[in-house]
A and B are shown apart, each in its own frame.
Chain A
Amino acid sequence: MSDSITFQTLAQILQNEHRVDPARIRPETALADLGLDSLALMEFVFSAEDALRLRLPEDQLDPRAAGITLGELCEAIERFAAGQRETEEAAPGRAAHA
């Protein structure tokens, strides 16, 4: 998990933009335990969506409300991205735009 591109991207954003201690950036760390307030969490998700070129629908996953871990967030992102790729193949030219 911690080797995946998705996780590495999230880790980089947390370190560079939010100065989160790298020791805290582990798959089992809950988002609530990253030391980010609600505003910073919104910024984090925003940056992650931009970096990974996707948008997480809030009705399916609202990381602000969920007590999910970084690992679970990565899985949700990858699941969503896979679903998006399938849609894209079925109807090309409608990629989500950051």
Chain B
Amino acid sequence: MSLVRAAGGGREPILVTGVGFVTPLGGTAAGLDAALATGRCALAARPLEIEGLGASLVPVAACADFDDEAAPRGPSGVLPDRGTAMALHAARQAFADAGLAPGAADPHRVGVYWGCGMGGAASFDQATQALYGEGRRLRPTTVLTTMPNAAVAELSMAFQARGASISYACACASSAVAVGEAMRAIRGGWIDLALVGGHEALLTPGVMAGWQAMRVLAPVSGGGAQGACRPFAADRAGFALGEGAAALVIESAAHARRRRAPARVALAGYGTSCDAQHISQPASEGQVRAMRLALADAGLAAADIGHVNSHGTATAAGDAAEAASLCEVFGAHGVPVSATKSLHGHLMGAGGAVELVCALRALERQCLPPAAGVAEPDPAFGIDLVCGSTARRVPGLRHVLSNSFAFGGTNAVLVASRLD
């Protein structure tokens, strides 16, 4: 078919040599694995009180253990936005995991490709609250900490990435696009190694109210938010706002070989497309195209994929479109599907990277996380959703696929493979 020919088929895999993250399910591989294995749900109901709007509850998935004020600052010395602090933390972990001291690679051949959805919107929300509400002036560093590339700037200084420093803002696909574009840059020979990923921390009143106004958040009561996000269920009612960051060090096989860096998994394929139809309604055609492009890029057939971590937002329109797309590409009940937003919330710009990390953990452990709170998927969807409270063992799992579909119509799909 034409898409396969266009993509050439089976490009060089890019090795994943380091991973780090801050998520509502924890910041260590062991913690994340345990949460994914048991379907631990990090969702909670947070009170939102804004004068003139009345009180309400918002479903959130916060990184309760992450103290941004205690976290070390970035190289600029400027007090960072919470999301930027998370990005720095995840990236330091990833570099340590990769066994790569700052400066160990040729700085001109290292790039940062990073995603965020709304940049420093939460910091700006707080700053303007102080400005308008309390008559307090803005800090001299307000612009520098709220611009969408604030984190990328800190990251490139921290790790001496002089080859590229690019921030991608395509809503919920931002960090998946960042990962994919870095793969292309490495394959194209522009750089050897990249720090990729994304961050988002939007849990301030103004930003939460913005999401609430879109009517895409799951309703929650005083009883809490456990199981409030039910992707692909017939009674699905929306998602929870998550926060966090995930970072990966990826590099060409030749570069990893030269520095004797061990790697167990590789990024095999990337596909991106745009619906170009509607600013918020997804279109199955664009999603199908992105998945097929990613498969072609990896040189794989749909039947080779043993697991999909879906975009799975639990919105009425979003899940319907994605279920149709999955059936089109993989056939009805053709591949086991997870929907980890039910556990860690919707991390917006960080979602693609965090969900890729979940898919990599599944690949490593041969174990697929369940969508907690979902007894069964809507039978009309025809998808094999891993649900309930126990993970599904899948011995022999070799290739996984992660979907990210954004407001604005951007679709990004990543395929990862085991190297053994």
Binding site for B on A (CB under 8 A): 17-19, 37, 39-40, 42-43, 46, 97-98
Contact = CB atoms under 8 A, between A and B. Distances in A.
Contact of B139 (A18, A37, A46, A97): A46
Interface in B129-162: 135-137, 139-141, 144
B79 interface: yes
A42 B79 CA distance: 13
Contacts of A40: 77-78
B139 to A, nearest CB: 6
A98 B138 CA distance: 10
A97 B77 contact: no
B136 A98 contact: yes
A97 B140 contact: no
Interface residues of B, number: 12
A contacts with B: majority SS = helix
Contacts of B141: 39, 42-43
A97 B78 contact: no
A43 B79 CA distance: 10
A43 B139 contact: yes
A29 B294 CA distance: 60
Contact of A18 (B77, B135, B144): B77
Nearest to B139: A46
Contacts of B137: 98
A20 B136 CA distance: 26
A37 B75 CA distance: 12
A14 to B, nearest CB: 12
Nearest to B73: A19
Given A39-B140, A98-B136, 7 more contacts: A18-B77, A39-B76, A42-B140, A43-B141, A46-B140, A97-B135, A98-B137
A94 to B, nearest CB: 13
A43 B136 contact: no
Nearest to A38: B140
Nearest to B138: A46
A19 B136 CA distance: 25
Contacts of A98: 136-137
Q: Lowest 10 A-B CB distances belong to which pairs?
A: A42-B140, A40-B77, A97-B135, A46-B140, A43-B140, A43-B141, A46-B139, A98-B136, A18-B77, A39-B141
A18 B76 CA distance: 11
Nearest to B76: A39
